[in-house]
Amino acid sequence: MPYPWIKAIHYIGLALLLGGPVFWHFIREGDADQRPGPRSAAGWVVFALGFILFLVSGYLDAVRAARDLWGELLPGDMQYFLTQSRYGVIITRKSILAVLFAALAVVAARRPRAPWMRAAVAALGLGVVYHVSAASHSAAEGFLGLFSDMMHVTGLAVWGGGLVYFALSPWPRPAGGGRVDDETRRRLAATSRRFSLVGMIFVGAIIASGAFMAYRLIYSIIAVTGTPYGLALLRKILLLAGLLVLAGVNHFYFVPRLERGQGPATLVQRFRWTVWGEVALLFFILVSTGALTTNSPPREPQAIPRPIHQTGVVSGIHYEIDVTPYPAGNLVFDLRLTDAEGRPVSVTPPEMDLTMPEHLMPPYYATMRRTGPGRYEADLILPMSGRWVIYIRTDLDGVPLDDIVLDFRSGASLRDQQREWYVSHWRATRLPLGPVVTVFWTGLVFLAVFAIRQGRRKEEFKPLLVSGGLLLFFSLWQVGSLFVAKGYPTEYQPNPVPRTEETVALGRELYMANCAVCHGPEGRGDGPLRDTMWPPPSRLSWHAPWHADGELYWFITKGVNGTDMPAFEQALTDEERWAIVHFLRTLPREGPIWFPGERMY
């Protein structure tokens, strides 16, 4: 089964597993016997289905990860993986917690509501969520990243899973007079109001934590529109927007009319259909989440602090490999193969298998290209900092050679080390999205304050104090980050110089006079001074599309510390530097770059 589908089924199972008990214990209007279990056989069937899907998909994920490590599995390999590897231990622990959670839910369903049961349900549920988030991309960002992912997963499971059980609840049917009796209507309205308010806060928390994680994991807006990870995120956002439209209709139209006893006899039935519409959109959101979590996020490019030179012998063939870091964060791998007498040996273009032993990540493969007899090259971007182990595999006349293994640690590139804290209004005011984003996050701040006030006024709304507080924290964080950020102070500033033929011509003239001697006339990093510089000049035809106009302007203005790239702040005027940026946009593109509206293959 494809990895994205395994993860999608895992999230669907998690929502169905956790959503039921949370809905029964914390949201649904209590019955006379106060027993928190489902009120129909369908509720138990869905709960059991969620439990099975969660366990089975977790095991399939473990099998996939073990096969990525070892290939064909031998007897005993899975037991070793599940008990000795970090990822396997996480899967084992969350499976055990899921079993305990399901057992408690079944026992609690047959007993009256009690505070200790609620506490136990919440504690075990959070334990499951913690272990789901522990293997996420965000967990590698430290405590705040792990906390954000837990908040996101909790919101999807509690609100999304609860939505399924709300739709499966026995809905009242009109009596002989064509209307639902007052008591039944009152209980449906009370449950709907509580679920609507709690759901509104959890949706806000999902959006806030999701935006925060995207801000930490995605390198630039170009990466959103030009990478598989970014496109999967956009699909998820569009589906969530559609779901919010239906949720708004329920909250502002159907629930108030149920509370006042207004509306036609078909009001309850129409309300139920919109809830099922939300459930359908939720399913596609969880599928998109599976695709999202199985792609590597386009983080800031990483580099190594100094060049790597390694030599050795594999299967009787001498090899020599150099790994050269460039200022933009890319690494160039240069492999030379010779026989015992020093003659070049041509092989099948080597395959590179890049892994991070300290962090579970999707497979990252690359193929080196032939640049001459017995010589092969690859130009790569490492998406994460940390320890990398790279296996280079090839064959000679169909006979596989032993692996060439590189083991090193990466960190931020020289260019990224220049980032600084700054205050600017451009992120909040730049058209077209700046004002929209500002209004959105400010609105969530007011929504969080409203939720906290509601939680303090009414006993049944006390859960809103926690969710409202979390939403307020992340919303204020995002509002602040619109004006205070760490980066390049001009990165969000639009180019103030109009793009005309004259401006581009001026930029070309200035580039040829000041930049081409290092970067080359077409920005390929092959200028006459290239061999005299360390690190080598950037290949602008490859890297310029990664950066916004304001970032390129900052590099031209301030230079790059630790390299031969000088600052042109005094040598060129503002208009001249912006004109060079316009010219850089005309350079022929090179390599598998990320570009607006395109995928990276």
Contacts of 49 (CB under 8 A, 6+ apart): 13, 16
**Identity (one letter) of the amino acid at 300?**
E
Q: What is the dihedral of CA 555, 560, 565, 566, to 10 degrees?
A: 80
Structure tokens at 422: 């700054």
pLDDT value of residue 540: 87
Structure tokens at 272: 């139920």
User: Which DSSP string corresponds to 236-294?
Assistant: HHHHHHHHHHHHHHIIIIIHHHHHHT-S-TTHHHHHHHHHHHHHHHHHHHHHHHHHHHT
Distance CA 355, CA 407 (A): 10
Q: Is 374 left (phi over 0), alpha (psi -120 to 50) or beta?
A: left
pLDDT value of residue 597: 32
91-116 tens-digit pLDDT: 999 999 999 999 988 887 777 667 78
Q: How far is CA 561 from CA 130, 381, 445, 567, 599, in A?
A: 41, 20, 40, 9, 32
Structure tokens at 451: 């939720």
Q: What is the dihedral of CA 247, 251, 252, 255, to 10 degrees?
A: 130
Whose CA is closest to 378, among 388, 390, 387?
Answer: 390
pLDDT value of residue 595: 36
Element (H, E) at 419: none
Distance CA 285, CA 232 (A): 10
> Per DSSP, what are the bridge partners of residue 419?
none
Whose CA is closest to 367, among 392, 388, 345, 347?
Answer: 392
Distance CA 392, CA 336 (A): 12
Contact 52, 60 (CB under 8 A): no
pTM (predicted TM-score):
0.63
Structure tokens at 9: 């089924």
Distance CA 319, CA 55 (A): 46
Contact 277, 356 (CB under 8 A): no
User: Helices (H) and strands (E) in the chain — how many of each?
Assistant: 20, 14
Cα angle value 544/545/548 (rounded, 5°): 85
pLDDT value of residue 51: 94
CA torsion through residues 397, 400, 404, 410, sign: positive
- Per DSSP, the three-state class of 358 is coil
Look up residue 532 and give its DSSP letter.
G
Contact 538, 530 (CB under 8 A): no
Contact 325, 307 (CB under 8 A): yes
According to DSSP, the β-strands at 386-393 and 375-381 are unpaired
User: Which DSSP string corresponds to 93-144?
Assistant: HHHHHHHHHHHHHHHHTTS---HHHHHHHHHHHHHHHHHHHTTSTGGGG-HH
Q: How far is CA 297 from CA 293, 588, 595, 598, in A?
A: 8, 26, 15, 16
**Residue numbers of the chain with a pLDDT score lower than 50:** 32-33, 591-601
Look up residue 344 and give its DSSP letter.
B
Contacts of 262 (CB under 8 A, 6+ apart): none
Contacts of 424 (CB under 8 A, 6+ apart): 483, 485, 489, 492, 493
How much is the CA Rg of the chain, to the nearest whole Å?
Answer: 28
pLDDT value of residue 593: 40
